[in-house]
Structure 1
């Protein structure tokens, strides 16, 4: 987190911007993220705007879609705004969180194996729940993964869809991490669950090695088979998210079984082919905490203290008196 720069907005909707959420630029993030606060000081929010180069209209559609969703593990969106006089934005309650790249910087390198395994299981569980409702995330990347004390949250919902319509090549477009973009999506294919699984394999490779396209031997042994399967060029050869959960969390077969598609889920998935998002029809399990390294916990506590100490900016008209 750092102070706003000269070209950052001073307000997002009715909220005053306190700080940039991303202290270092996450070049492959589809969003610009800011910590903002209401005028009465009672509400602190994480506000998000499209980054330059991303189609604001398409981004706004995905933000509205995220507002309608209630998938545990997806970063919640409580408000959307914007219009002719301001760019589109969305916001939800702020909680201390570190983007995955920032967590690796705080730790001084890749995360420990237990944290990577737990992160993979948590993300696979989130995706399995979403896919069972017919909802591909379509925006998973290291910058989209926010680590909190209560488990990871996924932002950048719909970044692949926002980057370009189906049928248009997406490789090299702003807001997309090339290492996490499945080949069929890079070529303009419709974002579907196998694309999320490809991105998850790249994210886990990043958490374990520091980059999204490692050599197989760089990966810890427990990740070699799952990540290799996730990164298969043929979508049909990739595991489904609930199968990946069973690989990463073999002691919890019940969780994997509950996430497996039922006939009703298959019907929902078919219906969702014509929609960007689908409202959830069934309750889902809550996210679970993961064993974060002490260095990451300290960074979260430091961020929380910074936000608590932050004061609302003084309006320019008052500084003249």
Structure 2
């Protein structure tokens, strides 16, 4: 039987969900965790790791390469605390001689704060990848696809689709609040997705300003509206006392902040055209069938958003907007 390790970056916004992440992967068979924290940051996560007898490691910028030489297990994966390895993955690796395996994201998200623990969810598989690699062949540990230098079998997304990484992309508005509300000291992990985006068609048009994470969430929510609900095979738990503690750390009114976040995401959702969403679902399915190495989720989402924003500023787009508004008022859309 092989041994397995996980490298994970963590920050205190993940604290209400972190114990669930640890418990699940221990049940799966993970023998060692290598958390990478920013120096002096994430005191809540430090307490959780200490309670679970997991040693954490400090690195400026949370560089995961800082723990590469410490790993002694047979296989290692780099995942975030909102990502979960497939329950059949380790059995497959035990039975097969594999040097590396690329696994696509199986995304799910909601603005509903009760969503994380709910049994039913909607899912969308996208060819942004995570990898699990044989430590003896590891050349460079990376966030998505680690490099190896051996001569073994390196399996791509075609095989990895059997073992997608379940990515709880947004676990509710509380989750977004902890990521955006200045609750904890900013680290590399916390600031990811906060790149400011500004959409302007011309000087007289309305602008749309938002963190890039909002666009990624808005796109996914629109896609998930078209997906059927399925049973979530992963049993999730949320530390609500920890969540309440962090909510109380938010400057100002948390509920007002959450409503502002909801409005921001909803405004972006309205920019995406329905035909764009349906076309992108088909294009993603074709991409997965072609066994790509990796596709950048953020770049793709922002490209589609800019294209739809420009269209909606055109005369044809203004006509379409007026038609959609009329149909919506009549209750037909």
- Global fold match (TM > 0.5): no
TM-score interval (norm. to shorter) = under 0.3
In the superposition, the TM-score normalised over structure 2's length comes to 0.27
Higher strand share: 2
Q: Which has the larger radius of gyration?
A: 2
